[in-house]
């Protein structure tokens, strides 16, 4: 197996993309068996058209990313546009991709995409070693549930929700010759090498917690029988005061360092029970003092206020890569999905995130995007959706 990446900022169109794709082929030593493209939203149609024309018979998948992309060589599109490409050459592996629009039924679309990708890989009915998934924001839980139903929950996911620069719906996804702004793009990977994953965050629990007493989908109405935004604001020491009764009721920036969490499970570590969490990012305060969110919630669930710092978010990407197996010294490279909210929070320190990843991966190739929701395989083996999290998938040399 061999992995290679290329990246560039300030592309002017399809001709620049073609030059970059040829550079990827040169680095890889031939056409990829799987091509992955991450790009800023303004490049979406150009990337799709160029890769569709250039890929030949190679499966290809791509998604838009928030304010840039990254590889082991650095950041691209931090200002302006950017594109990162990864090629995987694995003659003993098999790969397949598919994009299917939702058309009102995310579960059926995901099932159709999975079956199509498995057929392209020539492995229908076989469990993939890894599933790379990128869907439009809003239906991630349905996508994961459909994948788990088809695979019995035994195939790990690495994924992220398509993103743009300003949450205006300018995102896009593609696979092979199909693309769209609403749907699911996924790749099934049957690797000749070992695959390892990790899905964590850079946040710790606080002493604040409460039970959901009213909720509708991704709108949190009440915590412990009181308006959810009021309770959250008390926990956060007035951090969202300005959003009450204000037309600008967006609280994404104010809640990034203090999201909500749900305990997903417990692991035993050195004789101690250690809980692990998925996170939820509040988006807006509603007129009735509820909170809109980037993940589904349900009545009866317990929410915990989490806390993080810029330094913890910078450090964590490398830590998650180490958890996924980067410390083994036999890593070929892989995928990194990093939350767009965290990316915006660390901003000027983003080059340090790349440095931490390079340190963990020993400079091996990786491709990374910044997403509006993250999907991955938790410590207990569960595939889940969360916010403000980091999902990593690596390829390790077989013993």
User: pLDDT, tens digit, for every residue of 299-324?
Assistant: 999 999 999 999 999 999 999 998 88
pLDDT grade, residue 250 (50/70/90)?
very high
Note the pLDDT tens digit of each residue in 139-185: 999 999 999 999 999 999 999 999 999 999 999 999 999 999 999 99
Return d(Cα 73, Cα 88) in angstroms, integer. Answer: 17
**H-state helical runs in 89-242:** 106-120, 140-151, 228-235
- State the number of CA atoms in the 13 A half-sphere of 399 facing the CB: 1
Distances (CA, A) of 271 to 31, 62, 136, 268, 277: 49, 42, 41, 6, 19
For the chain, give every domain's residue range: 2-200+311-396, 204-307
Distances (CA, A) of 353 to 79, 162, 210, 265, 316: 17, 20, 33, 27, 8
On the question of pLDDT at 399 being above 90, the answer is no
On the question of pLDDT at 21 being above 90, the answer is yes
Give the containing element (helix H, strand E) for 345.
Answer: helix 340-346
On the question of pLDDT at 196 being above 80, the answer is yes
The burial of 167, by beta-carbon neighbours within 10 Å (0-12 exposed, 13-18 middle, 19 or more buried), is given as middle
Cβ(18)–Cβ(103) below 8 Å: no
Could you give the percent of the chain with pLDDT greater than 70?
99
Average pLDDT over residues 222-250: 95
Beta-bridged to residue 175, according to DSSP, are: 61, 178
Average pLDDT over residues 381-397: 95
The two tokens of residue 141 are 């839980």
Beta-bridged to residue 36, according to DSSP, are: 61, 86
Sheet holding 178-180, edge to edge: 2-9, 82-89, 34-40, 60-65, 173-175, 178-180
On the question of pLDDT at 273 being above 90, the answer is no
The predicted model scores a pTM of 0.95
pLDDT at site 71: 98
Q: pLDDT higher for 66 or 399?
A: 66
């Amino acid at each position: 197996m061999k992995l290679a990446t290329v990246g560039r900022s300030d592309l002017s169109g399809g001709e620049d993309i073609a030059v970059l794709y040829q550079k990827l082929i040169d680095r890889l030593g031939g056409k990829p068996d799987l091509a992955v493209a991450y790009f800023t939203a303004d490049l979406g149609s150009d990337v799709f058209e160029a890769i569709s024309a250039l890929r030949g018979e190679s499966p290809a998948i791509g998604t838009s990313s928030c304010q840039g992309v990254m590889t082991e060589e650095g950041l691209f599109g931090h200002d302006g546009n950017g594109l990162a490409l990864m090629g995987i050459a694995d003659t003993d592996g098999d790969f397949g991709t598919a994009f299917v629009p939702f058309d009102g039924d995310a579960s059926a679309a995901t099932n159709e995409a999975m079956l199509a990708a498995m057929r392209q890989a020539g492995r229908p009915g076989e469990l993939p070693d890894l599933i790379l998934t990128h869907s439009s924001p809003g239906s991630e839980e349905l996508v994961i549930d459909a994948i788990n139903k088809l695979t019995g929950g035994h195939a790990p996911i690495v994924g992220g929700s398509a993103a743009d620069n300003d949450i205006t719906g300018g995102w896009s996804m593609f696979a092979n010759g199909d693309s769209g702004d609403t749907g699911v793009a996924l790749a099934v990977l049957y690797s000749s090498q070992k695959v390892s994953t990790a899905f964590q965050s850079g946040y710790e629990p606080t002493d604040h917690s409460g039970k959901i007493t009213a909720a509708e989908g991704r709108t949190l109405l009440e915590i412990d029988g009181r308006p959810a935004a009021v309770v959250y604001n008390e926990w956060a020491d007035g951090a969202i005061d300005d959003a009450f009764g204000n037309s600008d009721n967006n609280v994404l920036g104010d809640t990034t360092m203090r999201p909500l969490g749900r305990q997903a499970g417990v692991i035993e570590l050195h004789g101690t029970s250690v809980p692990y969490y998925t996170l939820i990012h509040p988006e807006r305060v509603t007129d009735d003092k509820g909170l809109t969110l980037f993940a589904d919630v349900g009545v009866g669930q317990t929410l915990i206020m989490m806390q993080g710092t810029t330094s913890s978010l910078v450090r964590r990407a490398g830590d998650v890569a180490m958890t996924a197996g980067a410390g083994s010294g036999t890593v070929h490279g892989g995928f990194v999905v990093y939350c767009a909210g965290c990316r915006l929070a660390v901003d000027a320190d983003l080059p340090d995130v790349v440095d931490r990843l390079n340190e963990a991966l020993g400079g091996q190739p990786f491709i990374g995007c910044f997403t509006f929701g993250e999907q991955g395989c938790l410590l207990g083996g569960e595939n889940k959706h969360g916010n403000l999290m980091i999902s990593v998938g690596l390829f390790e040399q077989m013993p």
